[in-house]
Amino acid sequence: MITTVIKKDGNEIPWDRSKIINAIHKSSNRCKNSSITDEQINLVIEYVEDKVKEEKISTNKIHDLVIEGLSLYNSSVALEYKSFRNYKKRYSESFKNAASNSNRIVYDGDKENANKDSSLNSTKQALISESIMREFMRQFELKPEWVEAHDQGWIHIHDLPNRYLNQLNCCLFDMENLLDGGFEMNGSRYIEPKSVDTAWSVIGDITLSVSSQQYGGFSIPAIDSVLTKYAQMSYEKYLSYLQNKGIVGEQADEMAQEMTTREIEQGYQGFETKLNSVSNSLG
């Protein structure tokens, strides 16, 4: 007769029928079109007790016997009981894998995506979140044969965890279209820049914000063409200023061009500094 149950961690607890009854009821409740009677549950427990000759039994052995007993009296509940048991086991394995990946990222970094600087804490935090999403993808989203092929190297699913959120991959951003006429970002309204220096500053804000919402590289194509409009605005502003000071003709044109060029250089320096000093999910 069973008197003691040996848990997975080695601890021993008294045999308690009610725990088996509760577990079977939960499995029955998860079945859409099936229920189990108290009589069937008692028959299952009696089946378990009849099969065990020892006083002590492991939880794993109990689960196996419960599944056998349920299969005799209610196959639908038996399948659900077995499925949930495996489901918890898979979750446990996924958690262990995620914890292992997290430790690796904290101490060794990560080289999966060259666009992400894993020496930064902000990036490490994002990578640790991704390690959990990677397990979700492997265990619950991808077909088993895809996971096997990925693990064996026949295929490589690049940036696997990011696909869990259906994020965008590498992006060629249409900066010109966004700046034209102004836009709204993160609840704030941005008016269209009136100078090249302001345009550089706004482009930096956009780059940091939008690149945080994706994975992979972020590119602004034709940035010289994008900034032409705002460089012209700066040039005209300086030319008007100089003319009001009495400087006209070729001298005013040269000075306005020099002042505009200097503004472009300073704007670019500010843009580069912003990208190298403010961290986001890409680094």
pLDDT at 74: 86
pLDDT at 111: 65
- Calculate the alpha carbon distances from 239 to 48, 73, 229, 252, 258 in Å: 94, 92, 15, 6, 11
Contact 68, 20 (CB under 8 A): no
Residue-wise pLDDT tens digits, 191-214: 999 999 999 999 999 998 888 887
pLDDT bracket for residue 88 (50, 70, 90): low
- Calculate the alpha carbon distances from 105 to 97, 109, 114, 163 in Å: 12, 4, 14, 19
Domain spans in the chain, listed from the N-terminal domain onward: 4-84, 109-165, 171-277
Alpha-carbon gap, residue 79 to 100, rounded angstroms: 31
Contact 276, 206 (CB under 8 A): no
Q: What is the 3-state secondary structure (H, E, C) of 94-156?
A: HHHHHHHHHHHHHHHCCCCCCCCCCCCHHHHHHHHHHHHHHHHHHHHHCCHHHHHHHHHCCCC
Alpha-carbon gap, residue 78 to 31, rounded angstroms: 10
Residue-wise pLDDT tens digits, 220-272: 999 999 999 999 999 999 999 999 999 999 999 999 999 999 999 999 999 99
What average pLDDT does range 41-68 have in this prediction?
Answer: 86
Alpha-carbon gap, residue 66 to 61, rounded angstroms: 9
What average pLDDT does range 129-152 have in this prediction?
Answer: 83
Contact 91, 39 (CB under 8 A): no
Residue 283 pLDDT more than 60?
no
pLDDT at 34: 66
Contact 47, 69 (CB under 8 A): yes
Torsion sign over Cα 122, 123, 126, 132:
negative
